[in-house]
Amino acid sequence: MRKINVITLGCSKNTVDSEHIMARLAAAGYEVVNDSDRTDAQVVVINTCGFIADAKQESIEMILRAAEAKKAGKIEELFVFGCLSQRYADELRKEIPEVDEYFGARSWDGILERLNVKNKSELITDRRLTTPDHYAYLKIGEGCNWMCGYCAIPLIRGHHVSVPMEQIEEEARKLAERGVRELIVIAQDSTYYGMDLYGERKLGELLRRLCRIEGIRWIRLHYAYPAGFPDDVIQAMAEEPKICKYLDIPFQHISDSQLKAMRRRHTKAEAYALIERLRRAIPDLALRTTLMVGYPGETESDFEELIQFVKDVKFDRLGVFTYSEEEGTYSARELSDDIPQEIKDGRAARIMTLQREISLENNRRHVGNVEQVIIDSRQGDFYVGRTQYDSPDVDEEILIPADRRRLMKGHFYKARITSAADYDLYAEVLEHIR
């Protein structure tokens, strides 16, 4: 049995792609591992990220490490796919010829062909999970039609393509049958789901159908786009107890001149109105967002509007990026990267300093509350868990002293929040829910 190491870099969408290819390889009798710390296996497959400079660098370094291992005879075959390969296959072929073949972001079935593995349609909803067994990402679409000024994703992943609803349901059911309790719904823009396939937005219907799957306890929504946010999604989130009161919705900026220059298809007023609509329907909604500073033309007053936005909304979770020019994008072609890096970094730091205060203030409001907590792991003196308001890897953690009772990974417990820190909460367990 040949051993294949599938190494995944980049975002949760890459994780799902790797899990699909791993399931096919395992079904064909390969011993499949997923270990980015090792580059020794008969076959190594690297799923790359090509989104921004740092991610590209990380992918190139991983390919070079594997190429060295191949030259040293530790690897027989080396394949690369994903976003970096989609964008720069020709350059990579010249620079790192040790790689047997480079494949695009959506053409990883070429790797199966090279390994004489039949791409069986009946395996289309099979996954070999690389996340902890109790949660899984559920990719409902690929690509994006929005063409935001700074973003290379439509150039890499192409137009939005929705996965048929029945296929998503079957994949989710299979995940539930093997013990997954939490589904994290992802796409480049989850709210656009169905527009291509059904001619209308179908995310609300999809979420309700996923709620019917036995065994699934939490359904979490990531990557929503503000413009045209569907009312039936808000309704489903308000009415369905399985849908986490949590929404990841990147706003990027708020000043109308920056939103226009970024080609974001909504205005400042519409963003505020959407947040007001969401919070009226779902009062305890945890909002996660991503902001970008230093985009071409961002004035001090644009930035002050952004600071005011953060103060007004008091997001529960917030990340900030500094603009970096990506070749082929509208901003790289038409605008000049005119904000000095130290200004960009300074603005990002100001936002995160403000957000730390807001996060502590928000967290203090949770003290005394009794919440459902799922246990992800044990780290030293604490069990680490999450409430419905926290997504894995990106959000806060609930820390539960481990000296009181033994807790089970992937199990739910009723817990009282006992104290708050800026980015974590402490809790005590009251009851094992299962």
Q: Does 189 bind ligand SF4 (CB under 6 A)?
A: yes
Q: Does 153 bind ligand SF4 (CB under 6 A)?
A: yes
Q: Which of 69, 144, 249, 293 binds ligand SF4 (CB under 6 A)?
A: 144
Q: Please, where are the H alpha helices in 191-286?
A: 203-211, 231-239, 256-261, 268-281
Residues 242-271: x/- map of binding to ligand SF4 (CB under 6 A)?
Answer: ------------------------------
Tokens of 344: 């960009």
Q: Which of 50, 347, 10, 292 is nearest to 148 (CA)?
A: 292
Tokens of 157: 């992943």
Number of residues in contact with ligand SF4, rule: CB under 6 A?
Answer: 10
Q: Which of 268, 339, 347, 274 is nearest to 309 (CA)?
A: 268
Q: Does 34 bind ligand SF4 (CB under 6 A)?
A: no
Q: Does 213 bind ligand SF4 (CB under 6 A)?
A: no
DSSP-derived letter for residue 174 is: H
- What is the rounded CA–CA span in Å between residue 290 and residue 243? 21
Q: Does 148 bind ligand SF4 (CB under 6 A)?
A: yes
- What is the rounded CA–CA span in Å between residue 143 and residue 136? 20
Only one of the segments 144-152, 235-243, 279-287, 296-304 lies at the binding site for ligand SF4 (rule: CB under 6 A); that segment is: 144-152
Q: Does 188 bind ligand SF4 (CB under 6 A)?
A: yes
Q: Which of 422, 370, 428 is nearest to 399 (CA)?
A: 428
Cβ at position 188, least distance to ligand SF4 in Å: 4
Q: Which of 225, 246, 389, 426 binds ligand SF4 (CB under 6 A)?
A: 225
Q: Please, where are the H alpha helices in 132-255?
A: 153-157, 165-177, 203-211, 231-239
The residues near 73 (Cβ < 8 Å, ≥ 6 apart) are none
Cβ at position 209, least distance to ligand SF4 in Å: 24
Cβ at position 297, least distance to ligand SF4 in Å: 18
Q: Which of 4, 41, 151, 203 binds ligand SF4 (CB under 6 A)?
A: 151
Q: Which of 131, 194, 138 is nearest to 165 (CA)?
A: 194
- Cβ proximity to ligand SF4: between 105 and 153 the closer is 153
Q: Which of 89, 98, 146, 174 binds ligand SF4 (CB under 6 A)?
A: 146
Q: Does 156 bind ligand SF4 (CB under 6 A)?
A: no
- What is the rounded CA–CA span in Å between residue 393 and residue 131? 11
Binding residues (CB under 6 A) for ligand SF4: these are 144, 146-148, 151, 153-154, 188-189, 225
